Chain A
Amino acid sequence: MSQHLPRASFCLTAALVAFSLPALADPLTVSNWDGYMAADAIDNFNAETGNEAELVLHATNEEIMGKLIASKGVGYDVVFVSSPFAEVLNNLGLAEELDHAKLSNMANLYAEANALQHDPGNTFSVPYAWGTTGLCYRSDLVDAPTSWNDLLKPADSVAGKTTMLATDRWLLAAGQLALGYSVNETDADKMAEVRDLLIEAKGTLLAYDDTTFYAKLVSGEAELVHAWDGWCNYGIGENADIKYTIPEEGSDLWVDTMVILKASENKDAAYAFVNYILDADNHRWAAENILYKVPNEAAMAGLDASLIETFPNMGIQPAEMLAFEQLRDVGAAQRDYSRLVSEIKAAN
């Protein structure tokens, strides 16, 4: 007995150390899309603030949402998600109610960025990047498109050389906008119209493509593609004949946001990270690296004029974007959206 006691207490101590050590050194876990921050952002943050942040990647909003819902938000501190998903996190009670006193750099944001439809006043999400969804095309091969119908009902010479985004909401939004409906329309009859239009359009597509559409433009495989403005810039960077336009029926205003998880055990570091990104220089550095507009007035003011000349959509003004509707969380109707997309993709 007396022999066992020291050993038992040693084991207990060892166990305590083993359990508490990782907690002490537990790094701040940030989840973002691959390539959606400057490559050195995390290292710079760690070096400047003495924190220990690590970056994990998610490929899609849905992927990170699945993980967050399954774990009730445990295991992540700051996540980058598109605004409808930030809304879901808030509706599920997983998003931290933001203490603006800890985010002094929020003052850098455009006034418009404090009046976003999904979260007026940025109470649970902080906008990181924003932009429009429109048409990216080879101006040397096709006439400048003006309408969503130029994509959905292409001229014979362009048919078979178009691609569309495959992600549920944006795929549907192209049809909703072409028909003059809200990008959050859920009426069954109107959505059936949208579906039929998109099935018709599918017959003229080269492919659905969320990730390599700009490369298809560069190679000439595609001539007109459905694209997020910032992503079109990667094509423009390789071929100056590639241009971006917003169709006359309009666009959605998409906003990618930073959300701090309520379950975070490193909230101070999480706030520090979000505040670090919102710093004028850091946020500008992000914009220059990812070629997306950021909702940070101080950062955008520091952008090199030649950058906007090369990538004209970097110059789209906040007031112009705010005229567009944001994709909103549609709750239970999301299941209907998924089914519609299955119907479109299974049609031939």
Chain B
Amino acid sequence: MTSDRRPLILMTPALLWLFGLMVVPCVLILALAFFRRGIYGGIEYTLTFENIALVFDPLYFHIFMKSAGIAGLSAAIACVLGYAAAYAIAAMPRRHQPMLLFFAVLPFWSNYLVRTYAWIVLLNREGLIVNLARWIGYQGELPSMLYTESAVVVGLVYNYLPFVILSCYAPLSRLNPDIAEASRDLGASGWTTFRRVTLPMSLPGIATGFVFVFVLSIGNFVTPALLGGGQFQMIGNLVYAQFLTANDWPFGAALSMVLILVMLGLLMLQAVVAERASGGKGQDG
């Protein structure tokens, strides 16, 4: 049995695909970070660390922190909303749950751009929300809701919410109801049971959802461009600009490298949280 090669054979195509079309190009791009940019773009093959140093220049570091702030806020809001939705779905009769989950992920069936454009239609100064307010009888001038930082956060939360619902639903649905009952039998109130029993046991789901939304948001460049009106530069927009407008591939590569390291760090942290939580439950496999 130990010499069974079938798993390896089955995995080979996927591994080759990943290695050839993802790992190799990524390494090539990241290698560019250590070269110099020519006057007109292009690459001069002299080794340098100035691109990496430039990432920590106050201007670009500020953009990094700002992106992290927007991504963190989006992830936190998505976790609160997503957890509540997942909790409600898990509390429903089992036979209704697949249908509710189906509705939760339904937006994924439409194109990301279309979903984001829908918010432009809703939020703009002559948009549906403003016209609805006028129809109800609101007279004054409403501030533009579109092209603001809040619009960017709304767009990110909306687009990534289903991830959190799914990641929180998984541990919540597997929760043994006897445990919560035992907690109540021992005199804990509903809130205490939630806070001391249910919440800690579903923490890995929240951590997974948070990291997912954070990682997807911090590198996002479409939503800030469309809903932020180009006024909120996130790190994804900066990388995009280096590759496609400034023609400074080495600096773009350096930014990507730091971004990938941040994401890897977070994913490892999330793995640790998940590991701890499952370790706490003992060897239940």
Contact = CB atoms under 8 A, between A and B. Distances in A.
A335 B66 CA distance: 23
Given A342-B60, A345-B230, A91 B246 contact: no
A63 B244 contact: yes
Nearest to B234: A346
Interface string A214-243: 000001110000000000000000000000
B144 A62 contact: no
A289 B125 CA distance: 31
A59 B138 CA distance: 41
A207 B229 contact: yes
A66 B41 contact: yes
B21 interface: no
Contacts of A219: 124, 126
A342 B245 contact: no
Nearest to A63: B244
Interface in B21-62: 37-42, 59-60, 62
A205 interface: yes
Nearest to B54: A339
B247 interface: yes
A209 interface: yes
Chain A contact-residue range equals 35 or more
A34 interface: no
A308 interface: no
Given A206-B229, A220-B126, A342-B241, A69 B62 contact: no
Contacts of A88: 40
A319 B136 CA distance: 55
A346 B69 CA distance: 14
Given A168-B245, A346-B66, A202 B231 contact: yes
Interface string A68-82: 011000000000000
Contacts of A342: 59-60, 63, 233, 238, 241
B247 A66 contact: yes
B229 A208 contact: yes
A339 B229 contact: no
A175 B200 CA distance: 55
B147 interface: yes
A60 interface: yes
Interface size class of B (residues with CB under 8 A): 20 to 34
B248 A160 contact: no
> Which secondary structure dominates where chain B touches chain A?
loop
Contacts of A343: 59
A88 B41 CA distance: 10
A16 interface: no
A237 B26 CA distance: 46
Contacts of A339: 59
Nearest to B42: A69
Contacts of B146: 207
A138 to B, nearest CB: 12
B158 interface: no
Interface in B128-156: 143-144, 146-147
B243 interface: yes
Contacts of B229: 163, 205-209
B126 A69 contact: no
Contacts of A91: 40
Contact of B230 (A60, A166, A331, A348): A166
- Residue among A92, A167, A345 having the largest count of chain B Cβ atoms under 10 Å: A345
Contact of A331 (B39, B62, B244): B39
B41 A206 contact: no
A332 interface: yes
A60 B231 contact: no
Contacts of B246: 62, 168, 334-335, 338
Given A66-B41, A69-B247, A335-B248, 11 more contacts: A60-B244, A66-B243, A70-B42, A91-B40, A92-B40, A168-B245, A338-B241, A342-B60, A342-B241, A345-B231, A345-B237
Interface of A: 60, 62-63, 65-66, 69-70, 88, 91-92, 160-161, 163, 166-168, 202, 205-209, 219-221, 331-332, 334-335, 338-339, 342-343, 345-346, 348
